[in-house]
Homo-oligomer: A and B are copies of this chain.
Amino acid sequence: MSRTARLFQLMQALRSLPSPVTAERLADETNVSIRTMYRDIDSLRGLGAVIDGEAGFGYTLIEDATLPPLGFEDEELEALVLGLREVMQVGDPSLAKGAESALAKLGARLPEGQSRRLKHAVLTAKSYNPPPAPKVDAGVLRRAAWDERRIRFDYSDVVGAKTSREVYPLSIVFMQSSHCLVAWCHLRNDFRVFRLDRMDSLDVLEECFRPRRVSMLRDYWEQMRREAQKMAHSEHAAS
């Protein structure tokens, strides 16, 4: 393996191995002698990576300046932080966790100054009433939508009437008061929106409707757009 490739591999190891990591471990990882490892660490530092090396302790990757500094502007950083914090508050557990780790990863990739900025961002999200915990696992639902798999669940509508539904899940909409699933409903043969907190007994079925999700979703939005237009029109006529 060429030296350059090895350096990339080393960078990778520094990123993924739990820190601190000793030179010996890294040398083992990349198949070189310890002496060469010290030389390689040196090279990486020369290339801009900030690697903390403590005697009797090991190495810790501080800043992954491997490269493209990702150049986010201030406003973009604030937007990222605000958005992710929002998601951490309103999202279901697995999504919130995703937001948290995304934030951590971004922080790790940013140059020193920006990383601090990320931590001390000016903006904060505050949601007073986190939506009620739904009985179904939003993570499962999300994955079903992504994998374009048909699903089945029990649903209680506004007046409490219960039905069993089979649908193609298209998208999950986060509204302030509740989370909703947009889907093609096989019972009604039309698009329907289901509140997650009224769903129960979710099953992911075998049938896969790939790759129609994106186009169906487009159709749905198109239909919504037209209805909204019609609505506005009739309102206008009435005034």
Contacts and interface: CB of A to CB of B under 8 A. Distances in A.
Interface of A: 2-5, 7-8, 11-12, 15, 43, 46-47, 64, 66-80, 82-87, 91, 94-99, 101-102, 105, 109, 117, 120, 122-128, 139, 142-143, 145-146, 171-176, 182, 213-214
**Chain A residues touching B, majority SS:** helix
A117 B145 CA distance: 12
B83 A99 contact: yes
Given A83-B82, A87-B83, A145-B122, A70 B174 contact: no
Contacts of A117: 146
Contacts of A91: 79, 82
Given A4-B43, A67-B8, A214-B120, A73 B98 contact: yes
20 contacts: A3-B4, A4-B4, A8-B47, A8-B66, A12-B67, A66-B68, A67-B69, A73-B98, A73-B101, A75-B97, A76-B101, A77-B102, A79-B87, A79-B99, A83-B85, A122-B171, A123-B172, A126-B173, A126-B174, A128-B175
Contacts of A72: 102, 105
Contacts of A146: 74, 117, 122
Given A2-B43, A80-B83, A83-B86, 20 more contacts: A3-B3, A3-B4, A4-B4, A66-B67, A72-B102, A72-B105, A74-B143, A75-B98, A76-B98, A76-B101, A76-B105, A77-B98, A82-B83, A82-B91, A86-B87, A122-B142, A124-B172, A124-B174, A125-B174, A126-B175
